[in-house]
Amino acid sequence: MKTIIYDSECKFCTRFSTWSQSKVSSIEILSVRSKESRKILREKGVKFVDLQTVYFIDHDEVLVRSRAVFRVFSNFRFPWKFVSYFKFLPLQVTDFAYKLFAKYRYYF
């Protein structure tokens, strides 16, 4: 199972998740605020659910922030799959960019 868990109160996050699901029909989307998503995350070992973080569950693996975004894009076809190639960048750099974007995401 592949699942994007996102902040449903963020219009950008909602659009990205719905768009992702339209590109790859096997991706399920859930709001981070739902009981079902919190239950799934707890079962996967996530103790603290951050509302400013996107989670991507790929079978038993839980990815967060930039790694989650890269894995989502890796499921797409060209040209969108190209974004996933940037996962080689250091996690500190990509997560910094992710957190900066997340801080201002309501403006997008």
Do the strands 2-6 and 55-58 form a parallel or antiparallel pair, or are they unpaired?
antiparallel
> pTM of the full predicted structure?
0.92
pLDDT digits (tens, 9 = 90+) for 68-86: 999 999 999 999 999 999 9
CA distances from 43 to 3, 37, 53, 59, 64 (A): 14, 10, 18, 12, 16
Weakly modelled stretches of the chain, pLDDT under 50 = none
* Alpha-carbon span 85 to 35, nearest angstrom: 33
Mean pLDDT, the chain, rounded, equals 94
